[in-house]
Amino acid sequence: MIEIRDMEQSDLKRVMEIESNSFVAPWNKEEMLYELNENKFSHLAVITNDNYIVGFYDYWETFDSATIAQIAVDPLYRRQHLGETLLNEIIKECHAKKIRNITLEVRKNNEKAVNLYQKYGFKTVLTKEKYYSNGDDAYYMIKELN
């Protein structure tokens, strides 16, 4: 059974495994602890399959805007629409909070993620050249909420 719940500190070991298997430049444990315990603007959740953590998200809420910091799904559980489920949850939460828009940066060469965001109405506003530490470009995307 698939469930989404708030992330807890006890989830961190598993979340860091997913983090390191999902990103070119993964966050370290201290950065994730900051998001979880100190960043007043962050909202973190995990998605579980029969109580086993298979993915997570982190987004930041400031005033009437939100920024998706991360959406990650364990590579062994991809292609099951779990990333889409996480994105839907973020959008649903933002609608409920009367947030006007959601922004994000995504690697220009991450076609699957770009296609997912476009499917949900995110529009590319600009390209940030050499945005990532390895020199990859990023698309800055935005979704307007009604």
Catalytic residues: 105, 117
Burial group, residue 38, by CB count within 10 angstroms (0-12, 13-18, 19+)? exposed
Q: If phi over 0 gives left and psi between -120 and 50 gives alpha, with beta otherwise, what is residue 81?
A: left
Letter string b/e over residues 82-98, b meaning 16 or more CB atoms within 10 A of that residue's CB: bbebbbebbbebbeeee
The rounded distance, in Å, linking the Cα atoms of 103 and 119 is 15
From the list 64, 138, 68, 126, the residue with the least C-alpha distance to 101 is: 64
β-pairing, 123-128 vs 101-107, is unpaired
